[in-house]
A = this chain, B = another copy of it.
Amino acid sequence: MPNLDKQKNAAGKLIEFDMVSHTADELAHRNHADKDEHPLRFQGQGKILLALAQNNGLSQKELATRLNLAVQSTAEFVNKLVKKDLVTKEKSSTDRRKTIIRLTDLGRETAAETAKVPAYLEGLSDTELDQLTAILTKINQHLYEDIDQASPTYSSKFQETVADHLRDWFM
C-alpha cells in the first residue's frame, strides 16, 4: 500500500508540470514568433505532420483512417498545412481519385522539432533519466489498459499509431 501523501505530491508536481510546461512553450513561441504562431501537437494539423514524418506520401483517406478522423477534417488540416508550406498535395498518377500528401522540407523540420529532446531533460542525471523512463513506462502501460477498457476496438489501432510515431526513439 503506497503512501497516499507521496501520491499526492507526485500528482501535484504533475499538475504543476502541465501548467508550467504549457505556459513555457507558449511564451517561447510568442517571443521568437517570426511568423508562425501556434505550437501544434498531437491533434489536428500536428497529428498529420507526425504521421507523415513517419510515413510520407499517404493519401488523405489513409491519413484519415490511421488517425481516425473524418476525411473532411483531414482535408481541412491538410489544406491548412499546405497554406503554411508544410505539406504538398498532388494527384496520384496511378489512381487519379487519390491525393498524395507529402511533407515539404519545412514540414519535415517542423515535425522534427516536435520530436526534439526538450531542454529540461538536459538538467537530469543518467540515473534520473533512467528512473523517469521506467516510471513513465509503467504509467503509460496503465493508461493503455484504461484505453483498452474504454474501447478495445480503438485500442489496438491506437497503439500501433503511437508505436509508429515513437519508432524514432527506440530503434
Interface on A for B, CB 8 Å cutoff? 2-4, 6-24, 27-28, 30-31, 41-43, 114-126, 128-144, 146-147, 150-151, 154, 158, 162, 165-166, 168-170
Complex: how many Å from CA A147 to CA B31? Answer: 11
Copies in the complex: 2
**Contact partner, A131, options B23, B120, B135, Cβ 8 Å:** B135
Contact A22 B6 (CB under 8 A): no
A-B contact pairs, 11 of them (CB 8 A): A6-B133, A7-B124, A11-B118, A15-B165, A15-B166, A17-B136, A18-B41, A18-B42, A27-B147, A27-B151, A131-B135
Known contacts A9-B133, A136-B10; A146/B24 CB under 8 A: yes
Known contacts A16-B162, A42-B18, A118-B14; A128/B136 CB under 8 A: no
Contact A138 B117 (CB under 8 A): no
- Give, as a whole number of angstroms, the nearest-CB distance from A47 to chain B: 9
Complex: how many Å from CA A76 to CA B126? Answer: 47
